[in-house]
Structure 1
Amino acid sequence: MYDIIVCAIDGSELSNKALKQALALAAKTGGKITAVTVTEPSVIVSPGAEMMMIDTSEIIANLDAAKAESAKTTLAEAEALASATGATIAKLHVANSTAADGILHAAKEIKADLIVMGSHGRRGLGRLLLGSQAAEVLSHSDLPVLIVK
């Protein structure tokens, strides 16, 4: 039924709850899980920027590196949570994308049968799933979506 399950994670308690649901479902259906975390593009907005010239490439590179490291940690935590149940998961980091677009892109690329995600997640640098992102995935997905709250 659900052979390939994408589970969107961001390290929050709610996304861990979603992962646990995905793991339970996969155990019953024999499905495989790919944990997906998404990081948004790094942008710098400065009032009056039209009046000055600053090379922001190093700042952007540092932001991207910090987000990649955070994603690596989030995926490692998901892998540990899965291992504790005796399961194995695939891991995927989608960089420079909105959460909804990254989740939908990942699901399409791996030919998923189901998307599992929390109804909302963290804010700030580590944010992935907001209520609006869950609604976006629901409205644009051709796949079934399991929203965990």
Structure 2
Amino acid sequence: MYTHIVCAVDGSELSTKALRHALALAKSFNARLSVLTVTDPSVIVAPGAEIMMVDTASILADLDKAKEESAKGILTDAGRIAQDEGVAVNPVYLPGHHAAEGIVTTAKNINADLIVMGSHGRRGLGRLLLGSQAAEVLAHSDTPVLIVK
């Protein structure tokens, strides 16, 4: 039924739970599994919503590097879990995108036929609702979405 699944992870417990569901599905359908983490664009905004004129290039480069290191750690952890389950995964890191947009775009670009993700992750106030990212993916994806609670 499924041949290529994409699972969005952010390092939260709920995304790990979603990953475990994706692994079980990939195993039972003998499907490929891409594990995706997305990091937001880096911007620096002053309290008055004006861009600060300090050495923003250096600050943004440091911020992007920290995000990349965190993403690599998240994907490494997901890879270990997959290896323990005997499932090969394709790690995908997409920097500079809003999570929902990155998930939908990646699923489309890799021809995934299922998106698996947690109902919320570590994204601030949005996690108080269904998880704004999950709601956005549901609203904008042509690919079926499995939301894990």
Q: Same fold (TM over 0.5)?
A: yes
Q: After superposition, where does 1:124-139 map in structure 2 within 5 Å?
A: 131-139=131-139
Which position in structure 2 is the counterpart of 1:77?
77
> Does residue 1:86 correspond to 2:104, yes or no?
no
Segment of structure 1 superposing worse, 37-46 or 130-139: 130-139
Structure 2 residue identity aligned to 1:110: I
Segment of structure 1 superposing worse, 81-90 or 40-49: 40-49
Query: 2:44·2:52 contact (CA, 8 Å) conserved in 1?
Result: no
Q: State the number of aligned residues.
A: 145
Give the deviation of 1:22 after TM superposition.
0.5
Report the CA distance shift for 1:13/1:52 in structure 2 as closer, same or farther (over 3 A). closer
Give the deviation of 1:111 after TM superposition.
0.5
Report the CA distance shift for 1:3/1:51 in structure 2 as closer, same or farther (over 3 A). closer
CA–CA distance in structure 1, aligned partners of residues 87 and 146 of structure 2: 20
Give the deviation of 1:122 after TM superposition.
1.3
Report the CA distance shift for 1:59/1:24 in structure 2 as closer, same or farther (over 3 A). same
Give the deviation of 1:47 after TM superposition.
3.3
Can you give the 5+ residue segments of structure 2 that lack an aligned partner in the other structure? none
- 1:28-48 superposed Cα distances (whole Å, 9 cap, x missing partner): 111010000000011111135
Percent identity of equivalent pairs? 61
Which position in structure 1 is the counterpart of 2:56?
56
> Does residue 1:35 correspond to 2:35, yes or no?
yes
Report the CA distance shift for 1:116/1:50 in structure 2 as closer, same or farther (over 3 A). closer
Report the CA distance shift for 1:35/1:47 in structure 2 as closer, same or farther (over 3 A). same
CA–CA distance in structure 2, aligned partners of residues 41 and 52 of structure 1: 16
Give the deviation of 1:51 after TM superposition.
10
Q: TM-score normalized by structure 2?
A: 0.91
CA–CA distance in structure 2, aligned partners of residues 47 and 7 of structure 1: 35
CA–CA distance in structure 2, aligned partners of residues 9 and 51 of structure 1: 30
Q: TM-score normalized by structure 1?
A: 0.91
CA–CA distance in structure 1, aligned partners of residues 42 and 78 of structure 2: 24
- Hey, which bits of structure 1, 4+ residues long, moved more than 6 A? none
Aligned CA-pair RMSD: 1.9
Segment of structure 1 superposing worse, 63-72 or 46-55: 46-55
SS of structure 2 residue aligned to 1:7: strand
Which position in structure 2 is the counterpart of 1:141?
141
CA–CA distance in structure 2, aligned partners of residues 49 and 19 of structure 1: 37
CA–CA distance in structure 2, aligned partners of residues 109 and 4 of structure 1: 12
